[in-house]
Homo-oligomer: A and B are copies of this chain.
Amino acid sequence: MKFIINPPRAQWAELAHRPVKDLAELEEPVRAILTDVKKNGDSAVLKYIEKFDKVKLKTLLVTEEEIREAQSFVSEDLKKAIQAAKYNIAKFHIEQKEMVKKIQTTEGVTCWRKSTPIPKVGLYIPSRSAPLFSTILMLGIPANIASCEEIVLCSTPNPDGKLHPIILYTANLLNIKKVFKVGGVQAIAAMAYGTQSIPKVDKIFGPSNQYVTVAKQLVTKEGTAIDMPASASEVLVIADETANPAFVAADLLAQAEHGTDSHAVLVTTSESFAHLVKKEIETQLEALNRKEILREALENCLLIVVNNLKEAIAFSNFYAPEHLVLAVNNDEYFAELITNAGSVFLGNYSPVAAGDYASGTNHTLPTNGFARVYSGVSLDSFFKKITFQKITQKGIRNLGKTIEIMAEAEGLMAHKNSVSLRLRE
Which A residues contact B (CB, under 8 angstroms)? Answer: 77-78, 80-82, 84-85, 87-88, 91-92, 95-96, 98, 101, 103, 105-106, 109, 111, 113, 116-119, 129-134, 166, 202-203, 217, 221, 223, 225, 229, 244, 246-247, 250-251, 253-254, 256-258, 284, 287-290, 294, 331-332, 335, 338-362, 366, 368-376, 378, 380, 383-393, 395-396, 399, 401-403, 405-407, 409-419, 421-422, 425
Contact = CB atoms under 8 A, between A and B. Distances in A.
Nearest to A331: B390
A351 B412 CA distance: 14
How many copies the complex holds: the figure is 2
Given A346-B388, A353-B418, 4 more contacts: A111-B361, A119-B340, A366-B384, A380-B385
A83 to B, nearest CB: 9
A250 B417 contact: yes
Contacts of A253: 414, 417-418
B92 A111 contact: yes
A240 to B, nearest CB: 16
A96 B84 CA distance: 32
B250 A386 contact: no
Contacts of A409: 78, 81, 131, 133, 166
A380 B92 CA distance: 19
The 7 A-B pairs of least Cβ separation, nearest first, read: A105-B360, A250-B418, A88-B105, A130-B411, A81-B405, A257-B414, A346-B390
Contacts of A403: 81, 351, 353-354, 356-358
B354 A389 contact: yes
A391 B350 contact: yes
B401 A284 contact: no
A226 to B, nearest CB: 10
Given A103-B95, A353-B418, A390 B332 contact: yes
Given A290-B414, A372-B202, A105 B91 contact: yes
Contacts of A82: 406
B103 A92 contact: yes
Contacts of A406: 78, 81-82, 85, 133-134, 357-358
A67 B98 CA distance: 40
25 contacts: A78-B405, A84-B106, A84-B399, A88-B109, A116-B338, A130-B411, A134-B406, A225-B370, A247-B418, A251-B418, A253-B414, A253-B417, A287-B417, A289-B413, A343-B387, A344-B386, A344-B388, A344-B389, A345-B388, A345-B389, A346-B390, A352-B418, A358-B403, A362-B387, A375-B383
Given A247-B418, A411-B129, A417-B288, A396 B354 contact: yes
